[in-house]
Amino acid sequence: MAADQVSIRKLPLEGRAPSRWRWVVVAIGFAALIGVGAEVMARHDRAEQARRDAYWRLDGPPCAPLDPTIFRGLRRYPQATPYDETLYRRAGGAMTCTHLVDRIGGAKVRYQVCKFNAPDYLLVLQSGRDRFYDLTAGRSALVTVVKDEVRCVVIPPFRM
């Protein structure tokens, strides 16, 4: 076969030509999939935040005050844990702390929250003031410190 006898040409394709609308449908489907994924993640985040709020935002009766001489007369020196500008001393139990942010008086305020799992006695030292609490009988407590104001409430027992 000689070179002058060979011809190269395009063959016509059978069927319909590809539609550009197909890419529009694919793009819309992809955008919808991303939107659904974002909504699922947002719902998960809201549920997780609600779970954290339920764990950290508890209310109850105020903690019973304790005579400072009882606390200072303990045989074993209470465990001390500094957290931010507050010093906690507890006789027994365990503690966990975090920070929360709320609007107080129109401004966002970041404050500390600590939970105590069944300490017998608790001392909170904030701004040079000692506050002593009696939590005997296996009671748990939640302590918040907002703008140098200490609040202690008795809460139901919890697990860490």
pLDDT digits (tens, 9 = 90+) for 14-73: 766 667 788 888 889 999 999 999 999 999 999 998 888 888 888 899 999 999 999 989
Residue span of the structural domain in which 70 resides = 64-155
Q: Which pairs count as long-range contacts for 57-61, CB under 8 Å and 24+ apart, including other chains?
A: 57/100, 58/142, 58/153, 58/155, 58/156, 59/153, 60/142, 60/153, 60/154, 60/155, 60/156, 61/153, 61/154
111 shares a domain with 47: no
25 shares a domain with 68: no
73 shares a domain with 23: no
131 shares a domain with 73: yes
102 shares a domain with 33: no
| Number of structural domains found in the chain | 2
- Is 7 within the bounds of a domain? no
